[in-house]
Chain A
Amino acid sequence: MQRKFRNQFTRSKTGSSGGFFLSSGRLRPVALASVSLAFLLSGSCFAASPQNPDEWVFASAVSSSYGWGKSLRGWESTRLAIQTTLTAWQQSPASQPDGMAARDPSPTGLKQFLQHLPGPDSGKIEIIYLAAKHTPTGAWQFTGKDSGAVTWNELLQIAPSSHPCRLVILDVCHAAAVIKFPVWTQKMGAAATLLASARDEVTWELDFTKRQPVDLPARFPAAAAWLRQHLPASWDGRLSYLGLIWVQAFLQSPQPPQTLRQWQTFFARCEMESRKFQQVVGHKRASTISQFPLAP
Chain B
Amino acid sequence: MKNKNNRINMASGLRILSAGALLVGSTAYASGWMMGEPGDPSTPSLIQSNIATQRLVDMMMKSAPHAAAGANEWFQTPSVFAEYGYNAVEDTRGAGFDTDINSATVGLNFLTKCDIAAGVMVNYGSTNGDNSYDGDNLGLTLSLAKSYDWFFMGFSTGYDNSDSRPGGGLQTDTDCYTLAPFIGAMYVKGNFSFSTAPTMVIRWQDFDTAGVSADSSDATFGLMNTASYQINEALSVSLMANWNCVVREDPVATTDHNWYSVGTKVSYRLTDKFTTYASYMIDLGNDTYDNQRATAGLSMEF
Contacts and interface: CB of A to CB of B under 8 A. Distances in A.
Nearest to A204: B66
Most chain B CB within 10 A, of A73, A135, A285, is at A135
B71 A213 contact: no
Contact of A285 (B64, B71, B76, B273): B64
Nearest to B231: A211
A129 interface: no
A68 B115 contact: yes
B69 A133 contact: yes
A139 B232 contact: no
Given A69-B115, A209-B190, A210-B190, A149 B65 contact: no
Interface string B249-288: 0000000000000000000010111000000000000000
Interface residues of B, number: 28
A282 B233 CA distance: 12
A75 B67 CA distance: 9
Contact of B64 (A172, A173, A205): A205
Given A211-B191, A212-B269, A282-B272, A171 B115 contact: no
Nearest to A216: B233
Interface string A200-212: 0011111101111
A275 to B, nearest CB: 16
* A interface bracket (residues with beta carbon within 8 Å of B): 35 or more
Contacts of A133: 67-69
A110 interface: no
Interface in A255-296: 282-285
B193 to A, nearest CB: 9
A149 B69 contact: yes
A167 interface: no
A284 B272 contact: yes
A174 interface: yes
Interface in B55-69: 62-69
B71 A135 contact: yes
A30 interface: no
Nearest to B67: A173
Given A211-B232, A284-B272, A70 B67 contact: no
B114 interface: yes
Given A68-B115, A215-B232, A136 B71 contact: yes
Considering the complex of A and B, which 6 residue pairs feature the smallest CB-CB distances, nearest first?
A: A135-B70, A141-B69, A133-B69, A173-B68, A70-B65, A282-B272
Interface of B: 62-72, 76, 114-115, 189-191, 230-234, 236, 269, 271-273, 301
Interface of A: 68-75, 131-137, 139, 141, 149, 171-174, 196, 202-207, 209-215, 218, 237, 240, 282-285
